[in-house]
Homo-oligomer: A and B are copies of this chain.
Amino acid sequence: MILAKVKGNIVATQKDSHLVGHKLLLVQPVDLKGEFLPSSEIVAIDLTGAGTGETVLITQEGDAVQQILGHNKAPVNTIIVGIVDSVDVVG
């Protein structure tokens, strides 16, 4: 899992049926201070109710995501699985 921040939404009317009904958020990886890393944006399904500006945990595997969504046919490989309250770095 990596840290990312929600930047906005994606609208895609024409899409695979398994994506219908799920919120697609635009996220970008961030460092520990919440600064955006020089990475491309990623499109993720949100399972946590995350909103724009929030720091989230995203995972990018395929199988797990499909199973959470209640079926095993969703062509989804990025998902928001947690909203980060704090990051505690020791030392």
Contact = CB atoms under 8 A, between A and B. Distances in A.
For this chain, the copies found in one complex come to: 5
Nearest to A16: B81
B67 A2 contact: no
Given A62-B62, A64-B74, A73-B67, A12 B42 contact: no
A1 B42 contact: yes
A70 to B, nearest CB: 10
B15 A57 contact: yes
A83 to B, nearest CB: 4
Interface of A: 1-3, 7-16, 18-19, 24, 26, 29, 31-32, 37, 40-44, 47-49, 52-53, 57, 59-68, 72-79, 81-91
